[in-house]
A and B are shown apart, each in its own frame.
Chain A
Amino acid sequence: GAVVSQHPSWVICKSGTSVKIECRSLDFQATTMFWYRQFPKQSLMLMATSNEGSKATYEQGVEKDKFLINHASLTLSTLTVTSAHPEDSSFYICSAPLPRQVSSGYTFGSGTRLTVV
């Protein structure tokens, strides 16, 4: 079935450094990729929506210069957390709508646990 492969699964980085998270759609083309952040015991919070070949749409309160999203091809979308701080520590998940119809649902990457020390 359609799968989104997300890497890395977990990463620990120092404050001030940047981290790149990749999501690749396998066996299907993802023209749209949603990027979520989830804090412990909380719901998924949509950060931004990326569309292949165009600029990402960011949700209110999400800094576009801090969370850089690139969707250069139909199978790859990346999220770069720049100048990371401890408060950026969270679970980041990408998701793509499955092709053909809404009822197919959305497939999710396996998530990236980011810890900034």
Chain B
Amino acid sequence: GQNIDQPTEMTATEGAIVQINCTYQTSGFNGLFWYQQHAGEAPTFLSYNVLDGLEEKGRFSSFLSRSKGYSYLLLKELQMKDSASYLCAAMDSNYQLIWGAGTKLIIKP
């Protein structure tokens, strides 16, 4: 079956760095997405990886290892506004998104 695993909740300190991991199993693979979702709002696109390696975009970076079925989202210089849920989603061979349950990130001052 198809499955996405990510931690349920993480806590970090303002100004620090946090890494949110995601492992996936899908029927075929057409890329891995990371989305940010604040409570009561729709998700917003953060990143897309389809090749192995690290993609850096400002304070956020995303990494992919296709052979390991593994990705992580790295958030640097954490700000209070980064408190949100971070959703990992893998796209299967039919271009359907398989969603993880999300990781709730709590930022403490």
Please indicate whether A and B come from the same complex rather than being unrelated chains. Answer: yes
Show the binding face of A for B, using Cβ within 8 Å.
Answer: 6, 34, 41-46, 91, 93, 97, 102-111, 113
Contact B43 A108 (CB under 8 A): yes
Contact A103 B50 (CB under 8 A): yes
A34 contacts across to B, CB distance below 8 A: 97
Q: How far is the CA of A43 from the CA of B100 in the complex (A)?
A: 6
6 examples of A-B residue contacts, CB within 8 angstroms: A43-B101, A44-B87, A46-B96, A103-B50, A104-B48, A108-B43
Contact A108 B44 (CB under 8 A): yes
CB distance from B91 to the nearest CB of A (A): 7
CB distance from B106 to the nearest CB of A (A): 13
Q: Chain B binding site: helix, strand, loop or mixed by DSSP?
A: loop
Contact A44 B33 (CB under 8 A): no
> Known contacts being A43-B87, A103-B31, is A109 close to B96, with CB within 8 Å?
no
Cβ contact of B45, chosen from A41, A46, A106, cutoff 8 A: A106
- For residue B70, CB closer than 8 A to chain A, the reply is no
Q: Give 1 or 0 for each of B63-94: 1 = CB within 8 Å of chain A CB.
A: 00000000000000000000000010001000
Cβ contact of A105, chosen from B30, B45, B100, cutoff 8 A: B45
Interface centre among B42, B100, B102, by most chain A C-beta atoms within 10 angstroms, is B42
Contact A102 B40 (CB under 8 A): no
> Known contacts being A46-B96, A110-B41, is A105 close to B101, with CB within 8 Å?
no
List 19 additional A-B contacts (Cβ < 8 Å) besides A43-B101, A93-B42: A6-B42, A41-B104, A42-B101, A43-B100, A43-B102, A44-B43, A44-B87, A46-B99, A97-B95, A102-B48, A102-B91, A103-B31, A104-B48, A105-B45, A106-B33, A107-B45, A108-B43, A111-B42, A113-B40
